[in-house]
């Protein structure tokens, strides 16, 4: 028997393994390695602090997300030896493979910011990128009556780069609904030089922050949290007092990536941006948040990568060179509060543009424009996630970005 091993059963690893089970014959064993019993719908973590999602609809037993015929090993990975094509599990057991996909995701590292885990952690300072953090923040927001709420992104890259902005837009709406928005100051402290990384989207999102009365503190490189004094300090000695701190901590790759010497300084795996092959190794591919690519660390990216990587794995198995087909495609709904959202669609080379999506002249979604339809599209994605995306079924959105329906700079109508 030959083995395709996939480390990580999050969004990317699950959809790829399910897809490959249908594409490979019975000569192949497809093994997923992941210690967690449950699969969490991570987009729901944004809504949980505002008590706008039933937690029971966010979590499923992992076995329910895996196709028949997949082997699942419930164990943490201690190390990977690409030269020997071996995976070492915690406890010492070893697993050999013929091809390997690293879909091990990213993790938050609050311990890397001085003082963040000190006095005030989970009392006046919270994250919402974990289920426990989102639950604790929900309780804190329910008690919050007045003062300054600061959302700080410690450093990039992070999972879902638009999520901090979405949190602030939803917080604005949340406090308005409670009738206390005039008693709450919202501050966004980001290491970026604007609201977002892409110029057109950054201007639009920056305007929304201003319109909603959310203060933007740019190029803020957080270096220390003083929980006793409730102060957030940057490396250039700026200080932002807070009553409630919502942090997006430093992200890094999985621990075994670091101990195996497979990653960069943040344990993200150097990856060919077009083929998704791990650089400097043989028969190893990388996808999702585990890569060091400049594409967004978002579920949509893992989806598009999964479609193209399935083809490249088949090519590699038959001895053909992988094709440079991945273009960095990302597609994200951005919640803006008040039952509206913005849709952005972009890749390595093309920033988010206005227009219609996915069909020119029809849509039904609008790009770079607030609408209720986009909001409902985001809410509908949960059903799509569990029933189509994770099982690895085809979706009516091409893996490579299309310019159809988009208004390029200098044009007056969508093509």
Contact 107, 258 (CB under 8 A): no
pLDDT above 50: residue 159: yes
Task: Give the model's pLDDT for residue 359.
Answer: 85
Give all strands of the β-sheet with 239-241 in edge-to-edge order: 222-226, 231-234, 239-241
339 located within any domain:
yes
Do 114 and 245 belong together in one domain? yes
* Residue 408 pLDDT class (50, 70, 90 cuts): confident
Using CA atoms, how far apart are residues 18 and 115, in angstroms rounded to an integer? 42
Reported as a single tens digit per residue, the pLDDT across 348-357 is 999 999 999 9
Do 206 and 308 belong together in one domain? no
Do 138 and 228 belong together in one domain? yes
Do 179 and 136 belong together in one domain? yes
Task: Give the model's pLDDT for residue 412.
Answer: 53
Do 167 and 262 belong together in one domain? no
Task: Give the model's pLDDT for residue 411.
Answer: 63
Task: Give the model's pLDDT for residue 199.
Answer: 86
53 located within any domain:
no
322 located within any domain:
no
Do 273 and 156 belong together in one domain? no
CA distances to 124, 172, 178, 224 from 111, rounded to whole Å, are: 16, 29, 34, 11
Which tokens belong to 291?
A: 């890569």
Task: Give the model's pLDDT for residue 274.
Answer: 98
272 located within any domain:
yes
Which tokens belong to 169?
A: 């837009």
Residue 285: its H or E element: strand 284-286
Domain boundary among 298, 317, 336: 317
Across the chain, what does the average pLDDT equal?
A: 96
Domain boundary among 317, 340, 364: 317
Q: Which of 233, 223, 142, 241 shows the shortest CA–CA distance to 185?
A: 241
C-alpha angle 107/108/112, rounded to 5°?
125
151 located within any domain:
yes
350 located within any domain:
yes
Range of the domain at 354: 327-415
* Count of C-beta atoms within a 10 Å radius of residue 227: 17
48 located within any domain:
no
Q: Which of the two residues, 62 and 395, has the higher pLDDT score?
A: 62
Do 137 and 100 belong together in one domain? no
Q: Which of 414, 301, 305, 314 shows the shortest CA–CA distance to 355?
A: 414
Domain boundary among 197, 217, 251: 251
Reported as a single tens digit per residue, the pLDDT across 238-272 is 999 999 999 999 999 999 999 999 999 999 999 99
Task: Give the model's pLDDT for residue 290.
Answer: 98
Q: What's the number of domains the chain is made of?
A: 3
Residue range 377-397: mean pLDDT, rounded: 94
Do 272 and 186 belong together in one domain? no
Do 129 and 18 belong together in one domain? no
Do 117 and 231 belong together in one domain? yes
User: How far is C-alpha 159 from the geometric centre of its chain's CA atoms?
Assistant: 3
pLDDT above 80: residue 415: no
Task: Give the model's pLDDT for residue 363.
Answer: 81
Reported as a single tens digit per residue, the pLDDT across 359-381 is 887 889 999 999 999 999 999 99
Reported as a single tens digit per residue, the pLDDT across 305-350 is 999 999 999 999 999 999 999 999 999 999 999 999 999 999 999 9
CATH classification at residue 155: 3.50.50.60
Reported as a single tens digit per residue, the pLDDT across 160-196 is 999 999 999 999 999 999 999 999 999 999 999 999 9
What lies within 8 Å, CB to CB, of 201 at 6+ separation is: 344, 346, 351, 352, 368
Residue range 46-74: mean pLDDT, rounded: 97
Task: Give the model's pLDDT for residue 305.
Answer: 98
Residue range 269-289: mean pLDDT, rounded: 97
Do 116 and 239 belong together in one domain? yes
99 located within any domain:
yes
Which tokens belong to 374?
A: 């986009």
Percentage of the chain lying above the pLDDT 90 cut: 94
Reported as a single tens digit per residue, the pLDDT across 143-157 is 999 999 999 999 999
DSSP letter for each residue of 339-376: TEEEEEEE-SS-----EEEEETTTEEEEESS-BHHHHH
pTM, whole model, 2 decimals?
A: 0.96
Do 243 and 265 belong together in one domain? no
């Amino acid at each position: 028997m030959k083995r395709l091993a996939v480390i990580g059963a999050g969004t990317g690893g699950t959809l790829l393994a399910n897809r490959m089970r249908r594409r490979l014959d019975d000569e192949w064993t497809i093994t997923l390695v992941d210690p967690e019993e449950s699969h969490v719908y991570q987009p729901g973590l944004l809504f949980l602090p505002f008590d706008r999602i039933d937690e029971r609809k966010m979590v499923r037993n992992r076995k329910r997300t895996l196709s028949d015929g997949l082997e699942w090993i419930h164990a943490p990975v201690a190390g990977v030896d690409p030269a020997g094509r071996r995976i070492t599990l915690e406890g010492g057991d070893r697993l050999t493979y013929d091809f390997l996909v690293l879909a091990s995701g990213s993790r938050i590292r609050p311990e890397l910011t001085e003082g963040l885990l000190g006095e005030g952690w989970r009392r006046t300072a919270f994250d919402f990128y974990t289920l426990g953090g989102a639950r604790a923040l929900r309780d804190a927001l329910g008690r919050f009556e007045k003062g300054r709420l600061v959302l700080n992104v410690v450093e990039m890259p992070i999972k879902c780069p638009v999520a901090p902005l979405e949190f602030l837009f939803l917080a604005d709406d949340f406090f308005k609904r409670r009738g206390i928005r005039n008693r709450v100051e919202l501050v966004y402290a980001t290491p970026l030089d604007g609201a977002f990384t892409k110029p057109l989207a950054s201007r639009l999102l920056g305007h929304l922050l201003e319109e909603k009365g959310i203060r933007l503190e740019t190029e803020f490189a957080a270096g220390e949290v003083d929980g006793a004094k409730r102060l957030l300090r940057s490396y250039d000695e700026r200080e932002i007092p807070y009553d409630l701190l919502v942090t997006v901590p430093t992200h890094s790759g999985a621990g075994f990536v670091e101990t195996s010497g497979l990653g960069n300084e943040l344990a993200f795996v150097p990856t060919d941006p077009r083929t998704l092959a791990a650089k400097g190794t043989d028969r190893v591919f990388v996808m999702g948040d585990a890569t060091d690519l400049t594409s967004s660390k978002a579920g949509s990216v893992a989806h598009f990568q999964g479609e193209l990587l399935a083809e490249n794995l088949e090519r590699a198995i038959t001895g053909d060179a992988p094709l440079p087909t991945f273009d960095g495609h990302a597609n994200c709904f951005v919640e803006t509060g008040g039952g509206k959202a913005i849709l952005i669609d972009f890749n390595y080379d093309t920033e988010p543009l206005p227009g219609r999506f996915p069909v020119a002249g029809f849509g039904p979604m609008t790009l770079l424009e607030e609408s209720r339809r986009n909001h409902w599209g985001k809410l509908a994605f949960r059903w799509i996630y569990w029933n189509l995306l994770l099982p690895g079924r085809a979706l009516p959105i091409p893996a490579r970005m299309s310019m159809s329906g988009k208004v390029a700079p200098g044009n007056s109508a969508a093509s």
